[in-house]
Amino acid sequence: DAEITQSPRHKITETGRQVTLACHQTWNHNNMFWYRQDLGHGLRLIHYSYGVQDTNKGEVSDGYSVSRSNTEDLPLTLESAASSQTSVYFCASSVTGTGGEQYFGPGTRLTVT
Amino acid sequence: GQQVMQIPQYQHVQEGEDFTTYCNSSTTLSNIQWYKQRPGGHPVFLIQLVKSGEVKKQKRLTFQFGEAKKNSSLHITATQTTDVGTYFCAGERTTDSWGKLQFGAGTQVVVTP
pLDDT tens string for chain A (113 positions)?
Answer: 889 999 999 999 999 999 999 999 999 999 999 999 998 788 999 999 999 999 999 999 999 999 999 999 999 999 999 999 999 999 999 987 766 899 999 999 999 99
Q: Is the CB of B85 inside 8 Å of chain A's CB atoms?
A: no
Distance CA B44, CA A28 (A): 19
For chain A, the distance separating the N- and C-terminal CA atoms, rounded to the nearest angstrom, is: 37
Distance CA A99, CA B3 (A): 18
Mapping DSSP to helix (H, G, I), strand (E, B) and coil, where does residue A81 land?
A: coil
Mark B24-54 as b/e (b = at least 16 C-beta within 10 Å).
bbeeebebbbbbbbeeeebbebbbbbbeeeb
Distance CA B59, CA A104 (A): 24
Distance CA A94, CA A104 (A): 9
Distance CA A113, CA A109 (A): 13
Q: Is the CB of B84 inside 8 Å of chain A's CB atoms?
A: no
pLDDT per residue rounded down to tens, chain B (113 residues): 558 999 999 999 999 999 999 999 999 999 999 999 999 999 999 999 999 999 999 999 999 999 999 999 999 999 999 999 999 999 988 766 777 899 999 999 999 98
The pLDDT value recorded for residue B95 is 67
CB contact under 8 A, B43 and A43: yes
Beta pairing, strands B29-37 & B44-49: antiparallel
Mapping DSSP to helix (H, G, I), strand (E, B) and coil, where does residue B96 land?
A: coil
CB contact under 8 A, B97 and A104: no
Helix, strand and coil content of chain A, in percent to the nearest 5, comes to: 5, 50, 45
- Gap from B14 CA to chain A (nearest CA, Å): 23
CB contact under 8 A, A42 and B42: no
Contact yes or no for A50/A30 (Cβ under 8 A): yes
CA separation, residue B98 to residues A44, A68, B29 (Å): 17, 18, 11
Q: What is the DSSP letter of A83?
A: G
Q: Is the CB of B44 inside 8 Å of chain A's CB atoms?
A: yes
Distance CA A83, CA A113 (A): 6
Mean pLDDT over all residues of chain B?
93
From A96, which residue of chain B is nearest by alpha-carbon distance?
Answer: B99
